[in-house]
Amino acid sequence: MNPQKPSKNPKRIISGNDVSPRKSMGQNFLVDPQLARWIADQIEPDDAAFLVEPGPGLGAMTGHLEGRARHLLLIEKDDSLAPRLAGRFAGRADVTVLHADAARVDMRPWYRHGDVRVIGNLPYSVGGEILKMMLTPPTPVTRAVFMLQKEVCQRIAARAGQDGCGAVSVLVQRDWDVEFLRVVPPEVFQPRPKVDSAVIRLTPRDPATLPVCDRRLFDRLVRLGFGQRRKQMKNLLPEPPEGWQALAGALDKPVTMRAEELSLEEWVRLCRWYEQRLEADAGQKATEMFDVVNERNEVTGQLTRGEVHARGLLHRAVHVFVINSRGEVFLQKRSHLKDVSPLKWDSSAAGHLDAGESYAACAIREVREENGIEIHDTELAALLPAGAHTDFEFVELRIARHNGPMRCPPEEIACGEWFAPEVISDWVAARPQDFARGFVSCWHEWMRARA
């Protein structure tokens, strides 16, 4: 008779729990209660609107989070640990246990909470996936504290010229301010890992601290530049406009520069050189001409954008909802350079009619300019009278159909995302202040028409 093979994940007692740590999931359970309390405090959980803990495991940190935030969401993938957590918090209205993979969870419903904080002791095996998913814009996350392998934390926090500075350093710091908080030794875990861990805290970077650039191009150039660290960038990146000598001169760097020698700000300047954005960001032009209208939406003259907005004069605008085959609506987050409602969420495309322009023509133009796609027609969905609720615009809401990616200009749009209508309705009801006023009026009108 063949002897029974030993389990790859033998059971052990950890913090009073009979568990089988899974190497395949990179499970190392935190067992130091004082350290767990200290890490929990770094997210400042008290009265947080919505706190998320991916991979709570045995709940070492969870015990120092429960009852402090208004709502705590625990996301556990392990088939044996998730039911234990569900039983532990059964009947608690302020705690939800989600049996799911934190690297693939749908975060879009989280926007309705406004303040979304994430804290986690991330498994070494999938920590990078979770971090990328939760921190890459667009994201509802407003603050994060993560414990990861020390080397990974050092790379995320590294600056130009420091050991470990690489693509992940530049890509994360493009959107987040990173604080390296402390090193965590192996002996506070069971089973013990072979390397040190560390704790980092991330808060959103003020977008005004960097010039705008094309995010896709930025990501591509950074990854190419760090692809082979010992090589000079001129041997890794595409030939830049006007050649390498001109680009090196603009950056005040030698032609032989390597990727790790460039600061984040210099990487942005490099990307802008490839785009030929040679002038400083100026936002929207106050000299753009609009039709001014009366209470019957009849044109009475033309004035500049700056004067129309300053005096609260009646004028015309179009909003467009771009809808995909799944019935989702694309929403844009307005650039910080916008003169009205900066960093607010808005319709897929929205803009004022140029002098003498029709609503239908304006809709097609705005979708081209703001979403980077060509459409040939739109459907009229609603007419909204001018008033404070529309920022004194007579609005036509129009519907366009499109499947596929958008290419939004960063001067106009910070980022964008597809949302199911019910998610948007919940979000609008909970936090109308997150949206441009004109969008909220359009959304209510569209939902009434669909009912």
Q: Which sign does the torsion angle of CA 131, 133, 136, 139 carry?
A: negative
Q: pTM for this structure?
A: 0.91
CATH number where 242 lies:
1.10.8.100
Which of 205, 226, 249 lies at the terminal end of a domain, its last residue? 205
CATH number where 424 lies:
3.90.79.10
Asked if residue 260 and residue 184 are part of one domain, the reply reads: no
Asked if residue 107 and residue 43 are part of one domain, the reply reads: yes
Which of 250, 275, 300 lies at the terminal end of a domain, its last residue? 275
Query: What is the structure's pLDDT at 120?
Result: 95
**224 or 310: which leads in pLDDT:** 224
Asked if residue 155 and residue 134 are part of one domain, the reply reads: yes
pLDDT (tens digit per residue) in 40-76: 999 999 999 999 999 998 999 999 999 999 999 999 9
Asked if residue 380 and residue 418 are part of one domain, the reply reads: yes
Residue 8 falls inside a structural domain: no
pLDDT band at 339 (very low <50, low <70, confident <90, very high): confident
How far apart are alpha carbons 183 and 443 in whole angstroms?
48
Which of 177, 205, 233 lies at the terminal end of a domain, its last residue? 205
Query: What is the structure's pLDDT at 337?
Result: 95
Average pLDDT in the 370-376 region?
Answer: 96
Asked if residue 182 and residue 308 are part of one domain, the reply reads: no
Asked if residue 245 and residue 115 are part of one domain, the reply reads: no
- CA–chain centroid gap for 138, Å, is 3
CATH number where 55 lies:
3.40.50.150
Asked if residue 110 and residue 194 are part of one domain, the reply reads: yes
Residue 282 falls inside a structural domain: no
Query: What is the structure's pLDDT at 14?
Result: 41
pLDDT band at 27 (very low <50, low <70, confident <90, very high): low
pLDDT (tens digit per residue) in 385-439: 999 888 899 999 999 999 999 999 999 999 999 999 999 999 999 999 999 999 9
Q: Please provide the DSSP assignment of 368-427 as one string.
A: HHHH----S--EEEEEE--SGGGTSEEEEEEEEE--S-----TTTEEEEEEE-HHHHHHH
Q: What angle in degrees, to the nearest 10, is found between the helix axes of 150-157 and 127-135? A: 30
Q: How many structural domains does the chain have?
A: 3
Asked if residue 226 and residue 89 are part of one domain, the reply reads: no
Q: What is the CA radius of gyration of the chain?
A: 26
Residue numbers of the domain that contains 369: 289-450
Asked if residue 184 and residue 222 are part of one domain, the reply reads: no
Does the pLDDT of residue 81 top 60, yes or no? yes
Asked if residue 410 and residue 303 are part of one domain, the reply reads: yes
